[in-house]
Amino acid sequence: MNNNYSINNHVFEPDSLWFTSDTHFCHENIIKYCCRPFADAAQMNEELIRRWNETVPEDGIVFHLGDFCLGNSSEWNDIAYQLHGKIYLILGNHDMKYIRPAYMQRFEYVAEQMTIRVGGQRIIMNHNPFLCYGGSYRDVWQLFGHVHSGPQSHSGLDLPRLKMLYHLQYDVGVDNNDYRPVSFSEVKTKIEAQVPTERR
C-alpha cells in the first residue's frame, strides 16, 4: 500500500486506464447468486484472470472498485500476482473482512474512496452507488460496483433502486461488463449514451 501521495484528483492518461469491480475470486456462491456461467470457483477464477489479462496490458492501470476476493492470504496473493497492470483497490464490503496487510503490497493504493481526473473528466469511485454525490449536476462521473447488475444477473436486491441513479453513474462490475475490466473509452461511450439528448 502506497501512502506517499494522495490519489484524490491525481491525473491519469485515458488510454492506459481500466475499471472493474466484484470479481469475487474464490467465492463459490456468487456463481449461483449472479447466474455466472461457470461450473465452480476454480473455473471462474481461471476465466476472470484470462479475460483480465486479455483486456489489460502489463503496464495498464486498473481501478478495482471492491470485493476482489473471498479467499485466504495465499489465494489473494496467488490471484493478485497473476493479473496484469498496476491495481488500485477501493475496498468493498467483503474486502473489509478478508484483506490483510501481508498482501496489500500488490496494490498501488488501497482506500475506501478515490477521486481522479482523466483529461478534463473528474471521476469519483466507490464500491457502492450514491444517490447524491458532489458534482452530480456538474458532469462528474460516479463509478461503482456492489449491485451486480448485468444481462445475466437478475437476483440483486438493489437492482430496482438503480432506476434512481444519475445518467453519469455506471456499474463497472464484471457481471455488467462481460466478466472483464472496462476501459475509460468504453465507460465514456456508455455514460454518453445514458445522457439525455437535451444535455448533450
Q: Which tens digits make up the pLDDT trace of 15-33?
A: 999 999 999 999 999 999 9
C-alpha cell at 47: 476465466
| pLDDT per residue as tens digits for the range 111-164 | 999 999 998 899 999 998 887 777 766 789 999 998 888 776 665 666 666 776
Residue 36 to residues 19, 30, 95, 152, 172: CA-CA distances in angstroms?
A: 19, 7, 20, 7, 16
What are the DSSP E strand ranges found in 72-149? 86-90, 107-111, 114-118, 121-125, 141-144
What is the count of structural domains for the chain? 1
In a domain, 5, yes or no: no
Q: Is residue 167's pLDDT more than 70?
A: yes
What predicted TM-score, i.e. pTM, was given to this entire model? 0.90
Residue 50 has pLDDT above 70, yes or no: yes
pLDDT at 175 over 60: yes
Q: What are phi and psi of 56, to 5 degrees?
A: -105, 125
Q: Residue 98 pLDDT more than 90?
A: no
Instruction: Kindly give the pairing relationship between strand 121-125 and strand 114-118.
Output: antiparallel
Residue 140 belongs to a domain: yes
Mean pLDDT of 62-80: 92
* CA distance between the termini of the chain: 39
Strand-pairing partners, residue 90, are: 111
Provide the domain limits for residue 192.
10-199
